[in-house]
Amino acid sequence: MDRDAFLVLLRQHRAIAVIRAPNLNQGLAMAEAAAAGGIHLIEITWNSWHPEDLVSKLRHRLPYCTIGVGTILSKADLRDAAGAGAQFCFCPHIDLSITRLAQKVEIPIVPGALTPNEVVAAWQAGATAVKVFPVNAVGGASYIRSLQGPLAHIPLIPTGGVTVENAGDMLKAGAIAVGLSTSLFPKTAVAEQNWTAVTALATQLVDNLTIVDSSF
């Protein structure tokens, strides 16, 4: 997938379900519950249990979704993810060697950054978009809004503290999309395998973001 196609998907769907799974079946169930609620972008963190198996199976079980990976820390991680069929890649940091490899294997790359200097460095290195993480530590939506003046040309994806309730505020502040983990997959619901509750949260999130989009 090229960067332009990925940016189109981000603008179309807005929300990314971030899954960190301790086993294969739970990862599949979490992804399927989120997809049932209307989320089409799913990120499997590379510190999940056998993430390459999870990515590969989800590519077949959810063909209408775009399945990517997160927490990529090395070129070896990225090569394995690409081999498993990952369609996009998030990193918690900026690594020029990973960015160059992502460009070579044609996987959209979203490095993590926090300060304006880091955001610009990631963009200049060839990022498709920039993950602002952890956004809650620096003011949430107000921080995203403050970056828009000088950096409005850079697509920003806040994560780390984004919730079903405040995700819309992130879009209003200028984010191209948002990533959610704990808020979308509450510990109690996951422990009880209450996937109906997860689907309900996903539906609420999608509805909230659709309302925000319609106001632009």
> pLDDT per residue over 46-100, tens digit each?
999 999 999 999 999 999 999 999 999 999 999 999 999 999 999 999 999 999 9
Provide the 8-state DSSP code for 107.
Answer: -
**What are the Cα distances from residue 71, in Å, to 133, 166, 201?**
12, 23, 24
Is it the case that residue 151 has pLDDT exceeding 90? yes
Is residue 216's pLDDT more than 90? no
Please state, rounded to an integer, the average pLDDT across all residues of the chain.
97
Distance, CA of 1 to chain centre:
16
Q: Is the peptide bond before 134 cis (omega within 30 degrees of 0)?
A: yes
- In this predicted structure, what is the pLDDT of residue 4? 96
| Cβ pair 105, 78 in contact under 8 A | yes
Whose CA is closest to 156, among 137, 135, 139, 136? 135
- The DSSP-derived string for 126-144 is T-SSEEETTGGGGTTHHHH
Count of alpha carbons within 13 Å of 194, Cβ hemisphere only? 12
The domains located in the chain, with CATH, are 3-209 (3.20.20.70)
What is the side-by-side order of every strand in the sheet holding 178-180? Answer: 109-110, 89-90, 66-70, 41-45, 15-19, 178-180
- Mind listing the pLDDT tens digit for each residue in 14-60? 999 999 999 999 999 999 999 999 999 999 999 999 999 999 999 99
Q: What's the maximum distance between 2 C-alpha atoms anywhere in the chain?
A: 45
The DSSP-derived string for 52-99 is HHHHHHHHHH-TTSEEEEE---SHHHHHHHHHHT---EE-SS--HHHH
Q: Give the C-alpha distances (Å, rounded to integers) separating 70 from 48, 78, 110, 131, 213.
A: 10, 10, 9, 11, 26
